[in-house]
Amino acid sequence: MQVQSASAVTLAKTASALQAALPPGVHVLERGWLSSNSVLFEEGERLSAVDTGYVSHGRQTAALIDRVACGRRLTRIINTHLHSDHVGGNARLARGGAVSIWIPAGAADAVRAWDVERLGYRATAQRCARFGFDGVLRAGDVLELGGRPWQVHAGAGHDPHMLMLFEPQQRVLITADALWEDGFGAIFPEIAGEPGFVEQRRSLDWINRLEPSLVIPGHGAPFIEIGAALQRAYQRLAALESSPQRNARHVLKVLVKFWLLQVGQAPIGRLIEHFSRARYARVIHQRYFPGLTYDQMFEQTARQLCHSGAAALDGSLLIDVSRNA
């Protein structure tokens, strides 16, 4: 199992000028690609966290939180959505029983039944340690975080139940995977024939209307050039809408990279075998790449990951290359 070293992780806010733009007592733990950021809120002797990274980074997440905690106890986790790279630390962090977990209301039934099909963990062949929840959040709710009211907003597109959090006084927006500095999360619903592009556009429009002065994305560093980021996101969305195959290819790359993050390296044959059980990959093959064999589709994906610098090929051995390493 490959886990990023502690040096590969940056506590993005603490040393940067962007720290000043954050409300006091808010910390952003920024990590490498595909393990989500965690946003920490100091609340007296307590600490709340928004999102907890991927399961294979659980120990690292706990250590990072300890570094910020300075004796405070983590007592609450809020999840923007339930993709495995945002909730993977939940079970570990809540193990002692003194941590409450709040999730989007739309995903409550699936979590209660731990329906890995509906949660997408089986379809993507990803792992996630089971966790429960203590409360649900909906668009329109107001949540006290770090002693300030944060509004809950819908952020569908990448995930139909995804939520964003907005602090209106300093105009700080936690966008999860609805807006990154360069793009947004893959539009998973479209793969299965469900609408997602329309919702994604609505989320971008909504972000535009909120006029945030600082965005804390689910992946990558916080940023203040919101207008430019929105423009890139609209362009990317238009490109995906005009070529859904591009969205499918992107989803494939995300799935393979996730797996690589877990295993570190593996022969291509093992990769193909692993994804023979992933419904998403089967659907993508049938709908978008019927002209290729299943093996060819993954060989092509591996080459594309190498081309973008996210992996390297040594003969038939595919090797993870972690960003920020």
Which residues here bind Zn ion, judged by CB under 5 A?
83, 177, 185
State the nearest-atom distance from the C-beta of 149 to Zn ion, in Å: 25
H helix intervals, the chain: 58-69, 84-87, 90-93, 108-112, 188-191, 197-210, 226-242, 244-263, 268-275, 279-288, 294-307
Q: Tell me which DSSP letter residue 285 carries.
A: H
Q: Which is nearer to Zn ion, 76 or 83 (CB)?
A: 83
Q: Which is nearer to Zn ion, 126 or 272 (CB)?
A: 126
Q: Which is nearer to Zn ion, 37 or 48 (CB)?
A: 37
CA angle 230, 256, 286 (to 5 degrees): 90
Q: Which is nearer to Zn ion, 177 or 190 (CB)?
A: 177
State the nearest-atom distance from the C-beta of 313 to Zn ion, in Å: 27
Give bridge partners of residue 103 from the DSSP assignment.
Answer: 136
Q: Which is nearer to Zn ion, 83 or 274 (CB)?
A: 83
CA–CA distances in Å: residue 219 to residues 36, 44, 165, 277:
5, 27, 15, 27
State the nearest-atom distance from the C-beta of 88 to Zn ion, in Å: 11
State the nearest-atom distance from the C-beta of 217 to Zn ion, in Å: 11
Q: Determine the angle formed by the axes of helices 279-288 and 244-263, rounding to 10 degrees.
A: 150
Q: Which is nearer to Zn ion, 33 or 294 (CB)?
A: 33
- Give the span between the Cα atoms of 147 and 308, in whole angstroms: 42
Q: Which is nearer to Zn ion, 177 or 199 (CB)?
A: 177
State the nearest-atom distance from the C-beta of 83 to Zn ion, in Å: 3
H helix intervals, 18-128: 58-69, 84-87, 90-93, 108-112
State the residue number with the nearest CB to Zn ion.
83
State the nearest-atom distance from the C-beta of 177 to Zn ion, in Å: 4
- Give the span between the Cα atoms of 250 and 300, in whole angstroms: 12
State the nearest-atom distance from the C-beta of 184 to Zn ion, in Å: 10
Helix (H, G, I), strand (E, B) or coil at 118: coil
